[in-house]
Structure 1
């Protein structure tokens, strides 16, 4: 299987979707991996996060720590990705169990009949 490596151009396009929580599992994993290793894209994420979240906080008059909030957003995204992967794995295991049960039922029916 060929592994996709996200480019800076791809990451830049994905930032807005990341901030809107609109990336699928593969995109989210690729994005997080790229952001962790590319300081230029991490800086662009920080800028876009500041514009999107920081400006709203200023308008609302709220105090905030954008660096801490962005770090928390990235940590939460990693946790969410792990949770999604766990659910996908669980669904595959359940599907295999159902198939095994169906096969066992057929074998039992043939044996009895």
Structure 2
């Protein structure tokens, strides 16, 4: 899945920022069901494919928010925008900020 990450570096050390960015990139690049020890990690693209564009955008947004909340609690999804084209390709632009619970 193609995506863009916009991570606000405010509140993180440089090392934390790099680590979190790598974790987000890894999480978003995994297709759900492909990791032997954790079949839930990653994005479940199969359940989104085939839906109309607007419904697929909402489903993908929800999937991303749920997975980030579960696997990367140090950040919150602030918003998700989409680049798209007439072929129906969805490219999420995900905006993250430091989680309030992380201090």
- Structure 2 length normalisation: TM-score? 0.28
Q: Which has the higher contact order (CA 8 A, sep 6+)?
A: 2
Query: Between Structure 1 and Structure 2, whose CA radius of gyration is higher?
Result: 1
Higher strand proportion: 2
Higher helix proportion: 1
